Structure 1
Amino acid sequence: MEITFLGTSSGVPTRSRNVSSVALRLPQRAEIWLFDCGEGTQHQVLRSDLKISQLQRIFITHLHGDHIFGLMGLLASCGMAGHAQGIDIYGPEGLEPYLRACTKYSHTHFSYPIQVHTVKPGLVYEDEEFTVSCQLLKHRIPAYGYRITEKDRPGKFNLEKAKALGIPPGPIYSKLKRGEIVNLPDGRIVYGQQLCGTTEVGRKFVYCTDTVFCETAIELAQKADVLIHEATFAHQDAQMAFERLHSTSTMAAQVALAAQVKLLLITHFSPRYGPANALSLDDLLAEARAIFPNTKLAHDFLSYEIPRNRQLSEV
């Protein structure tokens, strides 16, 4: 699981930062999942090492322009490039009619299937390897945070030990590899975990923007390996943050601390903290680190690979 930031500015792009979009690359299945798609996202993809042909799922937090204005252009370009597989899009109510209107008035016809899923708090998607859930955050319009959880995987199967125990090969081995309990024909009970090495604990990635500080963000981010959280404003501009229902750097850090996450990546910065302002983004980083030391400042094209978690088998 590798995160790549394609846009880290809020509201409008700047010379060095595009508006919101984050890609999650899943190399084990040659897929890319996109979170938000601000204007210019497809240009950012072209400037990165990502392959647009691997795009399979897009998760939209809310319908403000700096999070969706790049979506229609990206989808149209995928069609013109001969995107062979379908794309599933997840987002709040209103996303489907928005896309339908865009296709109607631009006379765009997709050459590949697109499915739009309207999300509600709870489970959004699940397959054999991952679950995706969402929670409603606190913003001026309905906005959702997303949590991606990789399912735990049993460690490497000890084939030699299985043979030494006289376990006959066949479908039984598949069950044991999954850590299941198996009843052998001779009456013995074998615990699959006894034949597997170190368990690979699933990684957890959480994406929260746009929102002011709220309890649902803490709930969503519980014990995440990586939390991406907006930090639009500096602490001294907290009043503005409350008025506009955005977070300060300290709010993001408080969420990370309360949720006991491993790493906080702050993003979605107001352009006001540019070179001409008395406060810089380094000041926002220092504010966050005073509360949650393991905080990093995101920038466009920053990539971070979420390391695997390992837990020794108790048997």
Structure 2
Amino acid sequence: MQITFLGTSSGVPTRSRNVSSLALRLPQRAEIWLFDCGEGTQHQFLRSDLKVSQISRIFITHLHGDHIFGLTGLLASCGLAGNAKRIDIYGPAGLSDYLQACVRYSQTHFSYPVKVHTIQPGMIFEDEEYQVVCGYLKHRVTAFGYRIIEKDKPGRFDVEKAKKLGIPPGPIYAQLKQGQTVTLADGRTIRGTELCGVPQIGRKFVYCTDTVFCEGAVELAQDADVLVHEATFSHQDAEMAFQRLHSTSTMAAQVALAAGAKQLMMTHFSPRYAPGNSIILDDLLTEARAIFPNTDMAYDFLTHEIPRRPL
């Protein structure tokens, strides 16, 4: 699991930061899951090592323009390139209507299936490797955060040891690889855990923006390996943050601390903290680290490998 920040500004782009978008790359299945799609996201793909042809799922947090204005253009380009197979899009009520209106009035036609899923809090996707859960955040419009859970994997199966025990190849191997206990035809009971190496603990990635501090974000971020959380404002501008229902750097840190997250990566910064101003982004980082030391500040095209945790 690898994340790449494609846009880390709030509201409007700047010379160095585009508006919101983040790519979660799943190399083992050659897929990219995209979180938010602000204007210019497809241009950010062109400037990165990522391939739009690998996008299979898009998760939209809310319907503000800096999170969705790039969606139609990206989908259209995927179709023109002729390499998209199917894209599933998840988001709040109104997303389907928005996309249909864009397609209708721009005379855009997708050459591949696009499915929009209107979400509610809870599990919205699951397969043999991953679960995706969403929950409400607290913003001026309906907004969701997302929690991606990688399922635990059994350790490497020792085929040679199985052969020495006289276990016949076939369906039994598949059961043992999953750590199950099986009874052989000769009456012996074999525990799959004794033939497998150390299991791999699944990772947890959480994406929360836009929101003021709320218990919903804390719940989503429980025990996360990496929490990406908006930090639009400095702590010194907390009153403005409460008025606009955005987070300060300290609110993001408080969410990470309360949730027991392993790492916090802040994003969605107001352009007001540009170099030369009385408060700059380094000040936001200092504020957050005073509460949650393992905090980093995202920037466009930053790529981060989500580490596996030891047993």
- For the superposition of Structure 1 and Structure 2, which TM-score range results when normalised by the shorter chain? over 0.9
Measure, in 2, the Cα distance between the counterparts of 1:101 and 1:14: 28
* Unmatched segments (≥5 aa) in structure 1: none
Measure, in 2, the Cα distance between the counterparts of 1:84 and 1:26: 17
Measure, in 2, the Cα distance between the counterparts of 1:249 and 1:175: 48
> For residues 6-85 of structure 1, what are the structure 2 equivalents within 5 Å?
6-85=6-85
Measure, in 2, the Cα distance between the counterparts of 1:29 and 1:16: 31
Per-residue CA shift, 1:47-85, capped at 9, x if unaligned?
000011111100000000000000011011111111330
Quote the RMSD (CA, aligned, Å). 0.8
SS where residue 6 of structure 1 aligns? strand
- Structure 1 residue aligned with 2:105: 105
Please, what TM-score do these two structures have when normalized by structure 2? 0.98
8 Å contact kept, 2:147–2:207: yes
Measure, in 2, the Cα distance between the counterparts of 1:242 and 1:235: 11
Per-residue CA shift, 1:28-50, capped at 9, x if unaligned?
00000000000000000000000
Say whether 1:194 aligns with 2:194: yes
Instruction: Report how far residue 238 of structure 1 moved.
Output: 0.5
Per-residue CA shift, 1:126-183, capped at 9, x if unaligned?
1111000000000010000000010000001112222232222211001100111212
8 Å contact kept, 1:135–1:144: yes
- Structure 1 residue aligned with 2:231: 231
Q: Supply the AA of the counterpart residue of 2:132.
A: V
Instruction: Report how far residue 294 of structure 1 moved.
Output: 0.4
8 Å contact kept, 2:54–2:84: no
Measure, in 1, the Cα distance between the counterparts of 2:276 and 2:15: 14
Aligned-pair identity in percent equals 74
Per-residue CA shift, 1:159-216, capped at 9, x if unaligned?
2222232222211001100111212212222221111101100011000000000011
Q: Supply the AA of the counterpart residue of 1:23.
A: A
8 Å contact kept, 1:199–1:310: no
8 Å contact kept, 1:17–1:300: yes
8 Å contact kept, 1:62–1:141: yes
- Structure 1 residue aligned with 2:150: 150
- Structure 1 residue aligned with 2:262: 262
Measure, in 2, the Cα distance between the counterparts of 1:234 and 1:189: 61
Measure, in 2, the Cα distance between the counterparts of 1:303 and 1:257: 23
- Structure 1 residue aligned with 2:275: 275
8 Å contact kept, 1:198–1:310: no
Measure, in 1, the Cα distance between the counterparts of 2:309 and 2:153: 10
**Greater alpha carbon shift after TM alignment, 184-193 vs 35-44:** 184-193
SS where residue 53 of structure 1 aligns? helix
Q: Supply the AA of the counterpart residue of 2:201.
A: V
Measure, in 1, the Cα distance between the counterparts of 2:309 and 2:64: 36
Q: Supply the AA of the counterpart residue of 2:179.
A: G
- Structure 2 residue aligned with 1:173: 173
Measure, in 1, the Cα distance between the counterparts of 2:224 and 2:309: 11
- Structure 2 residue aligned with 1:94: 94
Count of aligned positions = 311
8 Å contact kept, 1:204–1:225: yes
SS where residue 182 of structure 2 aligns? strand
**Greater alpha carbon shift after TM alignment, 170-179 vs 159-168:** 159-168
8 Å contact kept, 1:9–1:17: yes
- Structure 1 residue aligned with 2:131: 131
Measure, in 1, the Cα distance between the counterparts of 2:275 and 2:185: 74
SS where residue 12 of structure 1 aligns? coil
Measure, in 2, the Cα distance between the counterparts of 1:30 and 1:78: 16
Please, what TM-score do these two structures have when normalized by structure 1? 0.97
